[in-house]
Amino acid sequence: MEPVDLAKAGFVEEEFFVRGIARTLDWPAAGKLDELARGPYVTRILVRRPRDASRFSGTVVVEPMNPSIRYDAPLIWGSAWRHFVRHGDAWVGVTIKPVAIASLQEFDAKRYAGLGFPNPLPPSQTCGQDRLPMPRGGLPAEATPATENGLIWDALSQVGALLKSDSSQNPLQGFAVSRLYMSGDSQSGGFIFNYAEAIHPFVLNAAGKPLWDGYVATVATGPGLPMHQCADPIPPGDPRLEIRPVGVPLITLVSQSEIRSLRRRPDGDVAPDLYRAYELAGSSHVHLGDDAGTPSPADIDRTSGRGFVSTGECKEDGALGNDVPLGFFLGGIFANLEDWSSKGIAPPRGEPMAIASPGTPQAQAHTDRFGNILGGVRSPQLDVPTARYHAGMDGPGICSLWGWREPLSKSELTELYPTKSTYIGKVNVNVTQLVRERWLESADGEALLARANAEQLP
């Protein structure tokens, strides 16, 4: 876990409670929403922003924090915090599920006693664990009839409207907010897709303009999560499962772990279809560096949270982690999103990973002589390799999402790089091209070069 020294970066963190009235919404068909009920909620938000308003870029990234392991995991912040800090962006994390509120209340019962998403439906109409599928990886089902996951859609809209408002209750009062993006990772990436496809068209300001200026979803492949606890599963082939134009930029970044669930569609450059899909070769769903800003193990132990799920039951437990720099590429995505949204400068287009039968249980990667996947968005880890990259481990539950790397043999490395300077030169050429083509920001390119210089070669 890599702690982030916010004070040293000139940032502060503040916590606020947000209350409102939200609807439980059904999504019966593409382009249609039905209200089932409405009721009060109270959630919390974390705000990380420049201490000095003069450093503020005008950009706010709202992250529905991932609740898959029963507490708030700010995985977008964990991967892209360097970009936010460099540019002076504000980041706002939102607690989105009752299960995460329960962990907060276990951590500090008095402080968080008032939080909740109480179910507004009559008891005879509520649904809980019996209606929700077990999440991928064997994580425990977390819905109860007393609460309602579906209140979050209006709550997210209300948080976004507050952040763009002149209200004295705006946590960013005194900071001129000009652009508002929403971004989520894994389960929360699914929330991004659902929100963009189902909710976004109906959330407009007084001038009829969209509230949100763009979306970024990582290691998630499309819409389809239940909109509420009683929602029926969306059947295969339903238009609601399609990634359709939303009128503002929507950028997705998937890892090699998602090859069996990919939903591919062409990129789009002309409004309303402003879309980019990136497939980062060799990367994995769970990767090194995405846990920055998550609660400490000691804090997690005070809750029923699972920690940042260990690899203890995986066959490759103890292997080196997957260090394909997904976070650096995510920083490049946010930089390009800013240019696309504010200046109309489209991002680069990426090649798809080389996969047989993509998006099916039979999907298989086409690999090079070292066992690394071909195609996709490339990094020096794959184009100037020192290891064989795996997108998952063998074993139960979440093992399939844990990436790892297997160092190349001494003979393979000597054949590729007779001297250390040969290796550094090749990395330099690769990184220079990635920066020039706008895949990476220059600071992250320099960080990759520093890592290469620290690499131990035979």
Q: What is the DSSP string of 238-303?
A: -GGGS----SS-EEEEE-GGGTTT------EEETTEEEEEEEBTT--SB-TTTTTTSPPHHHHTTS
- pLDDT cut 90: percent of the chain above it: 84
What is the model's pLDDT at position 140? 42
Q: Which stretch of 81-95, 128-142, 395-409, 427-441 has the lowest confidence by average pLDDT?
A: 128-142
Per-residue pLDDT band for 144 (boundaries 50, 70, 90) equals confident
Q: What is the mean pLDDT of residues 144-169?
A: 96
Domain limits, the chain: 11-304+323-349, 424-458
Q: How do residues 225-272 score in pLDDT, each as one tens digit?
A: 999 999 999 999 999 999 999 999 999 999 999 999 999 999 999 999
Three-class SS of residue 361? coil
Q: How do residues 280-290 score in pLDDT, each as one tens digit?
A: 999 999 987 76
Q: Look at domain 11-304+323-349 and name its CATH class.
A: alpha beta
Q: Which two tokens stand for residue 402?
A: 């844990």
Per-residue pLDDT band for 396 (boundaries 50, 70, 90) equals confident
Per-residue pLDDT band for 133 (boundaries 50, 70, 90) equals very low
> Does the pLDDT of residue 209 top 70, yes or no?
yes
The Cα–Cα gap between 182 and 264 comes to 21
Q: How do residues 298-325 score in pLDDT, each as one tens digit?
A: 888 888 776 556 788 899 999 999 999 9
Q: What is the DSSP string of 19-33?
A: EEEEEEEEEEETTEE
Mean pLDDT score of the chain, rounded to an integer?
A: 93
In contact, 414 and 456? CB cutoff 8 Å: no
> Does the pLDDT of residue 428 top 50, yes or no?
yes
Q: pTM score, two decimals? A: 0.95
Cβ neighbours, 10 Å, residue 390: 22
